[in-house]
Structure 1
Amino acid sequence: MGQTILAGDPPITVTLKRSARARRLVLRVSRHDGRVTLTLPDHVSERKAMDFARTREGWLREALSALPPTEAVGPGTRLPVLGQALVLAPARVRAPRREGDVLVVPEGRPAAATAAWLKALARDRLAEASDRHAARLGRPYSALRLRDTRSRWGSCSSEGILMYSWRLVMAPEAVLDYVAAHEVAHLARMDHSPAFWEVVARLCPDHARHRRWLREHGGSLHRFAFAD
């Protein structure tokens, strides 16, 4: 529907989203990027919705202040890569390269070059994990796509297309592998039934621990802003 501003210091941008399935007003703050979304049933006006948001302003500001601060990626940033911290060091190089615990990046565009390097690494690792799990399951997938998703770490369509957040490459490698196992398991079961979790457990026996890591620490992977 669009965005509107909740006045104050600082003002809060609220994204209005109308839903035919909604039965009441629902106000949410994304723990990944701090986006404020207000979902409206069809019969509720925008004016009434914003009146509701104003009554929750105290809660909104408290929730926003509890979010981890955004960190602009640049020289000296300690960036997690497959669970290990690498320090960004700009230099006169044409492409990023890892040297021990240092990631050497082009000095003219360190953030954009780092993001491109991470996406390429994410595609390699997620493709390897997806291929391995799909072969074990005996269920091939049709395509693999990367996005910078906020609401989910991965998905599997009915056509067998696997989608992953490229930011998984900043999580421990075992966590990335679990997400690949989870989505590949949907090639056999397109639900979250006990039978589905049995498939996940065959592919990734320690899946509960990795799910817990994502719940507790996954939001921190979205705090990094890649813009030069």
Structure 2
Amino acid sequence: MTASLSGPRPVEAEIVRLAGRDVPVRWRRSSRARRLSLRIDAREAEIVITLPPRAEHEAGMALLRNHAVWALSRLDHLPAAAPWHDGGQVVLDGCAHGIVHCPDGRRGVWIESGVVKVSGEAPFLRRRLMTFLRQEAGHRLGARLTALTGLSGLRPRRLVIKDTSSRWGSCSANGTVMLNWRLVMAPVDVQHYVIAHELAHLRHMNHGPDFWVLVAALTPHRHMAETWLRRHGPALLRAA
């Protein structure tokens, strides 16, 4: 068990007994947080509690106990992790590709006839495949961002591809757009919506009515994409 969190501390984790079960809980103290919050990290299959600077550990525990049924239900409904392996599948732009290990190959990772081939030693297959997908995300998502930028006139300062545990995208006040590399596994229409959503934040740094009017002007895919991400997003976060 971790010690009581008082004052700024790095991220800490513990196993908490909740409704007769042991569940992993990660504590996060944030100087920017204005209130206690609780969420499920689908990638790590754990509960994350964010504490404002002056909040006590016990306040976070009370929040967790009050939302125990919800938190346990969300953990129980997470999809099983699906590790990439020879003979398995990986998804790009919403299309499944078989994974074939080619130990004697000399091309790193490449797509051939609808199959993703991975060279090198077997223990490094997952790492090499993840590197490849992150590179593909930079190319594919970057190209789609550029295309929508040209149509909308909304120009971000730069694009950053990251691996985040909950967000598919974000837009900072300085005009930097962040996209989660795992978005490259989603269908193209879903990618289009997330990109449009973040570009709209260049004009409206909120989710007010004017923001959603602009999103609707940029993409017709909002409702389909939001539904798809709710249903299938956790599986993308757990893929590796």
1:220 equivalent to 2:230? Answer no
Residues 139 and 60 of structure 1: CA distance in aligned 2, closer, same or farther (over 3 Å): closer
Residues 205 and 64 of structure 1: CA distance in aligned 2, closer, same or farther (over 3 Å): closer
The Cα offsets for residues 192-224 of structure 1, whole Å up to 9 and x where unpaired, read as 222222222222123222222112211110121
Which of 99, 107, 111 is the aligned partner of 1:88?
Answer: 99
What SS does the aligned partner of 1:202 have? helix
Identity, % of aligned pairs? 34
Matches within 5 A, 1:1-228: 1=9, 2-6=12-16, 11-18=22-29, 21-22=34-35, 26-40=37-51, 45-46=56-57, 49-50=60-61, 53=64, 60-91=71-102, 92-94=104-106, 95-108=108-121, 109-225=124-240
Query: Alignment length, in residue pairs?
Result: 223
Q: Which one is further off, 208-217 or 109-118?
A: 208-217
Q: 1 CA distance for matches of 2:138 and 2:179?
A: 9
Q: Which one is further off, 28-37 or 150-159?
A: 28-37
Identify unmatched segments of 5+ residues in structure 1. none
Residues 70 and 138 of structure 1: CA distance in aligned 2, closer, same or farther (over 3 Å): same
Q: Is the 8 A contact 2:183 2:191 kept in 1?
A: yes
Question: What do you get for the CA RMSD once the two structures are aligned?
Answer: 2.7
The Cα offsets for residues 82-119 of structure 1, whole Å up to 9 and x where unpaired, read as 11111111002231111223111114121111111111
Residues 191 and 121 of structure 1: CA distance in aligned 2, closer, same or farther (over 3 Å): same
The one-letter code sitting in structure 1 at the alignment partner of 2:16 is L
The Cα offsets for residues 134-180 of structure 1, whole Å up to 9 and x where unpaired, read as 12222322111111112211111121111000001100111112211
Identify unmatched segments of 5+ residues in structure 2. 1-8
What SS does the aligned partner of 1:158 have? coil
Q: Is the 8 A contact 1:6 1:54 kept in 2?
A: no
Q: TM-score, normalised by structure 2?
A: 0.80
